[in-house]
Structure 1
Amino acid sequence: MSAFQPVVDALDALPTTAFLVLNRGRVVFDHGETSTPHFMASARKSILSVLYGTAVTDGTIRLDATLDELGIDDTGGLLPQERRATVRDLLTSSSGVYHPPSTVAGPEESAPPRGTQPPGTLFLYNNWDFNALGTIFERCTGRSVFTALAEDLAAPVGFEDFDPARQRLLGRPEVSEHLAHHIFLSARDLGRIGTMMLQDGRWDDRQVVPAAWTSESTSVQVNRGADVQLDYGYLWWLPRLVGRGSFMAIGNFGQYLLCVPPGLAIVHLRAVPDDIVLARTQGTPLPAPIDSVSPQQFMKVVRLMSAALRP
């Protein structure tokens, strides 16, 4: 029996669409529809962090710039205290801005009352922060997030399946002017991002993302306490149990990119039909139920893969 058979059996028991493992850029395991672009869900946020790297490094975006300085407001107006939140506060999901997001609210539904938490004091996974970061990127750089994705990542890293027309700006503009930049990528293109990040932002002989940013954005910016297994960087999750220096992108339904130094990139994708994507972003009932792959289920497959890769 192949060493990978337990991995295959575990994946076959899940609603997995694609599973891909790269070691220093070399494919060591390929399962399912790894060349088909799929909805990234919240994994998009880690990709946005990657795009921020060059703009922060060259001073186009200042991490200490406040929303007030950047002219960021929203429907009904932000509170004076909320306007003092910085770009860094948003990147660490600690803004203290609890304005309703344009996309359907998730953890924000349990947020404290507006104006009760000063910026930078409370970590609360907050889609308003992430959506506003897209607006800030576009205003400061003069380029759309999707243009930057195509020019700054897809081209230099050599995406194989990238479709610019597939990317979508979604949300409810009547709720918030900051819409969500939803990204659709294949497992093998997402794996290339992970490999590039593990190589300190380099791809072949090109520095795609500044090395200092790859280190800072995937280092602990928010220590979430002894009882929590995931710390937070700049839009990256940092799993304590996988190993020092590891980082993850996580998206609802089962979208994962786990990067384990020195060079292991593990991708899991679960296809999400477009009508369900639209329903989620518009706040309407889902047209049909959809099974998800939980972080615990994903990590079980990761452990099986780790065992299969041992000499």
Structure 2
Amino acid sequence: MKRRYLLGALVFVTIAASLLTYLIQTGERGLARQTQPSRDIDVTRLDASEIKSLGWDPKGLDVVFNYAASLSTDAFMIVTDGQRVGTFGDLSKLYNVHSIRKSLLSAVIGQHLALPENHLRLDATLMELGIDDAPISLTNLQRKTTVRHLLQSVSGINHPAAASGSLREEIDKRLGHAENQPGTIWAYNNWDYNTLTTVFENVTGSEVAVAFEDRIAKPIGMQDFDRSAVSYLSDPQKSEHKAAMFKMSARDLARVGTLYLNHGVVDGQRVLVENWTSLMSEDFAETGYGGLRMGHGYLWWIPATETGLPEGTFWAWGLGNQALMVIPEWNTVVVHQSDTTEFLKRFIPLISGENMTGEAAIEQLIFSCLKRAARETEYCIEHRFTTKREFKQLMSLIVAARE
């Protein structure tokens, strides 16, 4: 597989991480949005009787898809009982899934644990595995962190990491700069996820991309993924551990979600270790964010009951509100993707050229599409950033459409 260590890509992901932190913490400071013009989208849906038989209100789904048409959503799917209840967009196009990469990494771990020749122990410590870091070494206490701690985001290690951006401020606030006892403090920490990539590849002798393609993508029938859709980002001045980035289509993401609905089994073949699919909803840490991101476990997010989503729901999330929602009680998967390319073309110059903070830059771009003259432009209709508030509203409408 071709490995890419490009500065430009690193800047791109660093900025994306900055945006992610801002959106998690502030929710865009509650910025309101005037109604945007709806786009002409070609929705493919089952007929009303089939929709009802799958537990959905056809009129409620009309509201869902009409609202999605007012966003810059590029691919959207609702799949129930293995049937596509409703879709729009190019479901075969690969998009950068941003931080959904972490949930996909979790799936790779769960897949390897299902193998008879599994050599990866969740209780193995970094010291046992020979894992350290450079140019700043880990302490002996930090090296007592286990593989499970990395999966649970509770290493407590505040160490520079590739692709972290302004996550640093949030991590500093949660972890401080002293040593922490592993397993005691949760933080959304790219160091944990990047180190988990190193652990997996060192122990298994397989690259993440190869393992995902051979052991997940092929068994579950992915149509668009191959190992070239995974690239690495490295920042050796901060850490020797790299980030494995994924691109994936909506229909292939839906297959990943369906794998979890089926408890890790496809056509009688066990792909994920038994009980792996229940861990994230049973063994998670409360984040303090509430709402859709109330909890986080095994690199998946857990929504609060106040969202209306049933207990046992978990989901993967990335910049631009890329989402893979798994709802076992409804036997349903929801996929939402937005191409962030045009947004970042506008965002990056504000950061690098005008020295704006991430917060100021995103607010400027959000406000720019509230102006009457701009609301009819191609960017504001097709490419503008889908905000946290808008995605929350979309999910609320999906909940309301469930009979």
Summarize the Cα distance change of 1:225–1:252 in structure 2 as closer, same or farther, 3 Å threshold. closer
Query: Is 1:118 aligned to 2:185, yes or no?
Result: no
Moved more, 1-10 or 249-258: 1-10
Query: Who is 1:272 aligned against?
Result: 340
Number of equivalences = 307
- With normalisation by structure 1, the TM-score equals 0.89
Q: Deviations over 1:79-131 (max 9, x none)?
A: 22211111111111110111111113343323233333211111010000001
In 1: Cα distance, 2:67 partner to 2:385 partner: 14
Shift of 1:265: 0.2
**Which of 214, 224, 234 in structure 2 is aligned with 1:171?**
234
In 2: Cα distance, 1:146 partner to 1:66 partner: 24
In 1: Cα distance, 2:81 partner to 2:394 partner: 20
Moved more, 221-230 or 176-185: 221-230
CA RMSD of aligned residues (A): 2.7
The answer for unaligned runs of 5 or more in structure 1 is none
Structure 1's consecutive aligned runs of 4 or more residues displaced over 6 angstroms after TM superposition are 283-290
Query: Who is 2:142 aligned against?
Result: 82
Query: Who is 2:70 aligned against?
Result: 13
Summarize the Cα distance change of 1:178–1:276 in structure 2 as closer, same or farther, 3 Å threshold. farther
Shift of 1:207: 1.8
Query: Who is 2:270 aligned against?
Result: 207
Shift of 1:164: 2.4
Shift of 1:297: 2.3
Q: Is the 8 A contact 1:96 1:115 kept in 2?
A: no
Summarize the Cα distance change of 1:219–1:295 in structure 2 as closer, same or farther, 3 Å threshold. farther
Q: % of aligned pairs identical?
A: 34
Query: Who is 2:220 aligned against?
Result: 157
Shift of 1:226: 9.9
SS of residue paired to 1:188:
helix
Query: Who is 1:94 aligned against?
Result: 154
In 2: Cα distance, 1:30 partner to 1:131 partner: 33
In 1: Cα distance, 2:232 partner to 2:352 partner: 17
SS of residue paired to 1:211:
coil
Query: Who is 1:307 aligned against?
Result: 400
Query: Who is 1:190 aligned against?
Result: 253
Asked which structure has the greater CA Rg, the reply is 2
As a proportion of its length, which structure holds more helix? Answer: 2
In 2: Cα distance, 1:160 partner to 1:238 partner: 28
**Which of 284, 295, 298 in structure 2 is aligned with 1:234?**
298
Q: Is the 8 A contact 1:63 1:87 kept in 2?
A: yes
AA of the residue aligned to 1:86: T
In 2: Cα distance, 1:87 partner to 1:163 partner: 27
Summarize the Cα distance change of 1:163–1:271 in structure 2 as closer, same or farther, 3 Å threshold. farther
